Structure 1
Amino acid sequence: MALQVDIGWHSARGGREHNEDFAAALRPQPHEAARGLIAAIADGVSAGGGGREAAQTSVMALLQDWFGTPATWETSAALDRLIGAQNAWLAATNRRRGAGAMTTLTALVLRGQSWTLAHVGDTRAWLLREGRCTQLTTDHVFDHPDMASRLTRALGLEDHVRVDYLQGELQRGDVFVLTSDGVHRPLGGALARELQRAAGGAQATSEVLVEAALRAGSRDNASALVIRVQDLAAVRLEDVLVAGHLPAPARLKVGDTLDAYTVTALVADTGVHRLYQAREAGTRELVTLKVLHEARAGDPEERAMLAHEIWLGLRLAEQVGAGRSGFVRVRQPREPSAFYAVFDWHGGQTLEQALSRRQPFTVEEVVRSTIEVARALGRLHRQDVVHRDIKPGNLHRGDDGHWRVLDLGVAVSGFESEARRDLHAGTPSYMNPEQWEEGAGPATAQGDLFALGVTLYQWLTGHLPYGEIEPYQRARYRRDPRPPSRLRPDVPVWLDHVVLRAVARDPRQRFETAEELVLALERGASRPVAAPGPTPYFTRDPAGVWKAALVASVALNALLLVWLLFLPR
């Protein structure tokens, strides 16, 4: 899904000898789609063409250099560096030439499903949304009627420039308009009316605005750049982080409303999040609301984790499909007043709830269900995402009979902060043993498969393969787990082999991908996998080997000492 826009631009010299306005917009190439669209308008300030040079170089440098900035830079940070560099060049050029060529600048970036605005001077940006026209910028001019045309900020005016930034959520049908003062000053409040009346494309709208300004008596250069948003690009993590600046909802009770949702029940309270069942006003469908607990509402890391979870859910729906993907679909609330996540509602229960109630599962049911979960994990891993907390509490079977993986809150995708990536996440009894080793690398897809293997073992037997494990309690891994058939006689031998390979102490004996595990479960007895060999004692307990060697050495030396001192020679 790519951003689709209609762009129009029109400029007139008006009563001036030279046109020192300059505007342009640049669409991304297919390989640069993640960088978004950038547009800018500038109004040069000087005589003799110097203002035109300042305006043109500022706009062209910004547009051309934008696509050379690293993709990891946040939008406003990238704009700030580019505009700062251009301002420094203009100021140095003015000192060298003894001239005063300056320019205003208003730049707009549309990325994913958000917009970012950078502004210096008295050019303006407007947003027309659902028939309402809003001025987005504030003029940087002296606050006096006789000096309203004199700038307090401009590129080239000083060695350092202060830029205003504004961000917001992008919606289909939005119309952004960038104008020079030769358009908005003579039109005044009529500009909004002209915009609301304009029914044509972006080019026709830009021409209507400029011509209306000239008819209203504009003696200045008059320019307008119009961008109509026809379709939105895929959601980016930054888009969700913009919404993350909204306040967290207050504690809700049954009957309270949050935007378009009416709370019908409190589902869970973990101390970090609250989950509510709610009904959407328009569709009358039940949904799940996930909000930050008020004790964590101001925690930036918790906000970032919830935003990341929302983005991952939207990304999976887009890449995998919103149907039977093995995950709960995330919905986007329209113009939210607070920061929260909306998921589809599914009745049913988690595997943890089913096991705690001792609900019986046949071996065939367990195998079929594990295949469904493993396929969902495969879809997740193909998107370069690692869940990091697979366990019975995060596997849910809905009323429709399908299993879904819950809680992407601690998942890693490569887009989170380094601190979150290095966080030791997961539930100890389901974590692979190498994650407890000093200097362990980042979590991998194999860690998810090990956790699924532990879950499968527990599903079949009611026990954990290595027992309950506390953090850094590596002694539990010093024995190989018993085959499930020893605890449940109806487990076939081929399934013993699959389960033991999935939870093997040595990572080289485990399945490498979810697809490999699915294949082994589907083939079953027709093409059984080989049983993993016993883990060597040195691998299971290297320290124990050295301890045994030390004891043997001490005993040998003691015998040697006895022989030397007491036995006849």
Structure 2
Amino acid sequence: MKPEGRLDIAAGFASTTGRREDNQDFGAVWLGNDGERARHGIAAAVADGVGGARGGRVASETTVRAFLDAYYALPETNGIAAAASKALASVNQWLNQIGRTDDALAGCATTFTALVLRGRRATALHVGDSRAWHFRDGQLHRLTQDHTLPQPDQRHILYRAVGIEPTVRLDVAVQDLAVHDRLLITSDGVHGTLSDRAIARLLDQRGSAQADADAIVAAAYAAGSQDNMTALVIDVVALPAIEQDMLAALAAALPVGATPQTGDSVDGFRLDRLISDGRYTRLFLAEDMVAGGELVLKFPKPALLSENGARLAFLRESLVGARIDDPYVGGAIAIAPERQSQLYIAMPYLPGETLEERLGRTPVTIDRGVQIAAQLARGVAALHRRGIVHRDIKPENVILPEGGGLKLIDLGVARLPRVEEFAQDEIPGTPSYMAPELYEGERGSEASDQFALGVTIYRLFTGKYPFGEVEAFSRPRFGQPVPPSRYRADMPGWLEATILRAIAVDPSRRFGDVLELVHALESGAAHAVRRPEARPLIERNPVLFWQLVSLVLAIALVASFATR
């Protein structure tokens, strides 16, 4: 499971005087207690003082301390940007006034760059020429712009900073976060000497946050920096679950566009190859022309799926991708809201084949088939533990990656707690895998998932359907399934009994839950499951049993009279 409910980071801070006589930089990280972290988040700030030696240090340290004290004292309902402006207003006014009236602190002011991490986002707050950065997958992105004069010989002159103007004006930028992201704040003694490429290379070393902060400062000094040097590195260790309301708002804001074609470009993604063209969705292998790499994009078909249905599918897949971290369940990739212009889902690209494609070749061995079945069952169990019902388990929705393992995909039709249901005519499912109770109006349950899983395992070994292939919009008759051993003479009795129990027409005759099915598959012959047919007749049909007993007794009685 992915960590939920708590934001966790690792931080490293390095600051040195360098070749100057004193250090006018000041920085801090405030982790807060659990309540502060939930309400206000985690705050980190770096300030680089300007003015006289004493005045610069007074300005930087006072500003950072005043910001942290005031920000955490304000109600979280203010919002991060508004709270930060209020937190800096008093110290800015004080610095502006004292810099004009106190000769010892004449002209004192300071740059100020802060990052507030709350929920799954970081908010950059900035004035001056210190910088904030975001680093992910080898790519470094600057979140701030310097407030210095544009002329080459005047780029060291600030026109905005805390204390320069009567009212401080903060730039605000928001960055979505993912686990393993790195954030960095530097004073100009670092980035004035090191190039963006050099900083990215140092962050890509992936040492501890403290070791890499030290390395960045050391590299700036070795490169000849003549200023104070400060680096504050933050590693995102864990994030809270994506908020359902946030995703619902995003889904509501995105238009449902026309379904694209191969070769089209959408939001910087080039659609290179059509992977599948289903009833309600179309999947493409896409190249990310912005960040690089391949991924899969899933688009709704607005002609067949209502806009509300498409948005619900988006919400479901995004929520499951955010909440489930399991080796046998496929995930989703978050797209920055400012980049995404229409409704679609991004997923990791897993080179390999679907289980349906695998079934088209030579039959799997019993051992390999049991391994695949157990892994798939574990993926289903991981969903069920979170109250999620997949509702469309079938070989087409199972990926067998080239490197081994398995991924259960297509979670856009899953049934989730507290998420609005599809319209009646859009209830998902593939007829040949749907449990009998679904044809009676049920919306999907763990028991119906187990049935679909059982049919999938049946097909894995036999290539056949236990109750015959069901055409769309038809209502099947569920009689006795064909025993899989009829198609696989090498199938052990325990395995056949396991499969037949999972696809029992009566839900009460199936396994209590999918974990029981996992146990039956993994324990195998060591804990063989008794075939349902092997139960005594008195248990399977007590009326017939006593009828036969009565018939035998009657025959014996007639025979006894005849022999007298």
- TM-score, structure 2 as length reference: 0.54
Q: Decide whether aligned partners of structure 1 residues 346 and 3 sit closer, same or farther in structure 2, where only a CA change above 3 A counts.
A: closer
Aligned to 2:492: 492
Matched, 1:359 2:362: yes
The letter of the residue matching 1:175 is L
The structural deviation recorded for 1:501 is 0.9
Any residues of structure 2 matched to 1:11-22 within 5 Å, and which?
Answer: none
Any residues of structure 2 matched to 1:256-295 within 5 Å, and which?
Answer: 256-270=264-278, 272-281=280-289, 284-293=292-301, 295=303
Aligned to 1:368: 371
1:332 to 324, 329, 334: 334
Give secondary structure in 2 for the equivalent of 1:366.
helix
The structural deviation recorded for 1:4 is 7.5
Q: Is the 8 A contact 1:3 1:233 kept in 2?
A: yes
Distance in 1 between the 2:467 and 2:433 partners?
9
Matched, 1:444 2:445: yes
Give secondary structure in 2 for the equivalent of 1:174.
strand
2:437 to 404, 421, 434: 434
Partner deviation per Cα, 1:506-551 (whole Å, 9 max, x = no partner): 2222112222111111221121112225999xxx9xxxxxxxxxxx
Give secondary structure in 2 for the equivalent of 1:172.
strand
Distance in 2 between the 1:422 and 1:450 partners?
22
The structural deviation recorded for 1:341 is 1.7
Q: Is the 8 A contact 1:467 1:476 kept in 2?
A: no
Give secondary structure in 2 for the equivalent of 1:268.
strand
Give secondary structure in 2 for the equivalent of 1:520.
helix
Q: Is the 8 A contact 2:309 2:422 kept in 1?
A: no
Q: Is the 8 A contact 1:176 1:228 kept in 2?
A: no
Partner deviation per Cα, 1:19-71 (whole Å, 9 max, x = no partner): xxxxxxxx99959988887xxxxxxxxxxxxxxxxxxxxxxxx96xx9xxxxx
Aligned to 1:235: 242
Give the fraction of aligned pairs with identical amino acids, expressed as a percent: 33
Distance in 2 between the 1:227 and 1:352 partners?
46
Distance in 1 between the 2:245 and 2:405 partners?
32
Distance in 1 between the 2:444 and 2:422 partners?
13
Q: Decide whether aligned partners of structure 1 residues 251 and 426 sit closer, same or farther in structure 2, where only a CA change above 3 A counts.
A: closer
The letter of the residue matching 1:234 is A
Q: Is the 8 A contact 2:124 2:172 kept in 1?
A: no
Distance in 2 between the 1:234 and 1:280 partners?
25
Distance in 2 between the 1:363 and 1:472 partners?
34
Partner deviation per Cα, 1:108-157 (whole Å, 9 max, x = no partner): 38xxxxx9x99xxxx9999xxxxxxxxxxxxxxxxxxxxxxxxxxxxxxx
The structural deviation recorded for 1:491 is 1.0
Q: Is the 8 A contact 2:274 2:284 kept in 1?
A: yes
Matched, 1:483 2:483: yes
The letter of the residue matching 2:296 is T
Give secondary structure in 2 for the equivalent of 1:526.
helix
Aligned to 2:93: none
Q: Decide whether aligned partners of structure 1 residues 270 and 173 sit closer, same or farther in structure 2, where only a CA change above 3 A counts.
A: same
The structural deviation recorded for 1:370 is 0.4
Aligned to 2:308: 300
Distance in 1 between the 2:356 and 2:531 partners?
28
Q: Decide whether aligned partners of structure 1 residues 475 and 347 sit closer, same or farther in structure 2, where only a CA change above 3 A counts.
A: closer
The letter of the residue matching 1:240 is L
Any residues of structure 2 matched to 1:55-204 within 5 Å, and which?
Answer: 107-108=78-79, 171-175=121-125
The structural deviation recorded for 1:503 is 0.9
Give secondary structure in 2 for the equivalent of 1:458.
helix
The letter of the residue matching 1:308 is R
Runs of at least 5 residues in structure 2 that lack an aligned partner in the other structure? 10-30, 42-73, 89-118, 128-143, 150-159, 176-182, 184-235, 541-564
Aligned to 1:409: 412
Partner deviation per Cα, 1:357-386 (whole Å, 9 max, x = no partner): 343222222111101111111111112211
The structural deviation recorded for 1:399 is 1.8
Distance in 1 between the 2:456 and 2:332 partners?
25
Q: Decide whether aligned partners of structure 1 residues 311 and 534 sit closer, same or farther in structure 2, where only a CA change above 3 A counts.
A: same
The structural deviation recorded for 1:460 is 1.8
Aligned to 2:505: 505
Any residues of structure 2 matched to 1:22-33 within 5 Å, and which?
Answer: none
Distance in 1 between the 2:398 and 2:416 partners?
20
The letter of the residue matching 2:289 is A
Give secondary structure in 2 for the equivalent of 1:498.
helix
Q: Is the 8 A contact 1:297 1:303 kept in 2?
A: no
The structural deviation recorded for 1:415 is 3.2
Distance in 2 between the 1:4 and 1:421 partners?
42
Distance in 2 between the 1:475 and 1:282 partners?
49
Give secondary structure in 2 for the equivalent of 1:332.
coil
The structural deviation recorded for 1:346 is 1.8
Q: Decide whether aligned partners of structure 1 residues 526 and 249 sit closer, same or farther in structure 2, where only a CA change above 3 A counts.
A: same
The answer to which of 374-383 and 303-312 deviates more is 303-312
Q: Decide whether aligned partners of structure 1 residues 236 and 353 sit closer, same or farther in structure 2, where only a CA change above 3 A counts.
A: same
Distance in 1 between the 2:427 and 2:36 partners?
34
Q: Is the 8 A contact 2:312 2:422 kept in 1?
A: no
The letter of the residue matching 1:364 is D
The structural deviation recorded for 1:469 is 3.5
Matched, 1:348 2:352: yes
The letter of the residue matching 1:243 is L
Distance in 2 between the 1:535 and 1:270 partners?
43
Distance in 1 between the 2:79 and 2:433 partners?
47
Q: Decide whether aligned partners of structure 1 residues 34 and 508 sit closer, same or farther in structure 2, where only a CA change above 3 A counts.
A: farther
Q: Decide whether aligned partners of structure 1 residues 463 and 535 sit closer, same or farther in structure 2, where only a CA change above 3 A counts.
A: farther
Distance in 2 between the 1:485 and 1:303 partners?
44
Distance in 2 between the 1:511 and 1:32 partners?
46
Give secondary structure in 1 for the equivalent of 2:468.
coil
Distance in 2 between the 1:347 and 1:327 partners?
15
Distance in 2 between the 1:351 and 1:392 partners?
5
Distance in 2 between the 1:534 and 1:36 partners?
63
Distance in 1 between the 2:380 and 2:396 partners?
16
Any residues of structure 2 matched to 1:549-568 within 5 Å, and which?
Answer: none
Q: Is the 8 A contact 1:296 1:302 kept in 2?
A: no
The structural deviation recorded for 1:311 is 2.4
Aligned to 1:527: 527
Distance in 2 between the 1:316 and 1:308 partners?
12
Q: Is the 8 A contact 2:242 2:322 kept in 1?
A: yes
Any residues of structure 2 matched to 1:208-227 within 5 Å, and which?
Answer: 214=166
Q: Decide whether aligned partners of structure 1 residues 419 and 354 sit closer, same or farther in structure 2, where only a CA change above 3 A counts.
A: closer
Partner deviation per Cα, 1:473-517 (whole Å, 9 max, x = no partner): 66612x221321123211111111111111112222211222211
Q: Decide whether aligned partners of structure 1 residues 239 and 296 sit closer, same or farther in structure 2, where only a CA change above 3 A counts.
A: farther
Distance in 2 between the 1:236 and 1:459 partners?
38
Say what the alpha-carbon RMSD is for the aligned residues. 4.7
